[in-house]
Amino acid sequence: DTEVTQTPKHLVMGMTNKKSLKCEQHMGHRAMYWYKQKAKKPPELMFVYSYEKLSINESVPSRFSPECPNSSLLNLHLHALQPEDSALYLCASSQDLGRGTTEAFFGQGTRLTVV
């Protein structure tokens, strides 16, 4: 199983809504990531969890709140988003953060539209 599963695939939300994005992997990976990707741009790192602890927070606004309930799950809680937050949100995982190939496996993403 080399899959990272993200739900939902598509999400439309108003600026006053609260929603959550979910990500799951069963590869035994200990590093999990949230990326934001705008059209024709590379992925931008938002958060990194390593061994279920928040390792990196790339100065992301507090309206995005990550959560790692266990080693297989990663959530991104959304509240009071702005239209400019509309993007493809990608979850990824890798064996760990360290040396070696440790390539990141990406989920299919959640296409988020904020109206």
Task: Using CB under 8 A, list all residues that contact another protein.
Answer: 40-43, 45, 48, 56, 88, 90, 97-101, 103-109, 111
Of 14 and 28, CB closest to another protein: 28
User: Among 62, 79, 78, 74, which residue's Cα sits nearest to residue 107?
Assistant: 74
76 neighbors 90 (Cβ within 8 angstroms): no
Residue type, 64: F
Q: How far is the CB of 48 from another protein (least distance, A)?
A: 8
Rg of the chain over all Cα atoms, to the nearest angstrom: 13
Of 45 and 80, CB closest to another protein: 45
Of 12 and 15, CB closest to another protein: 12
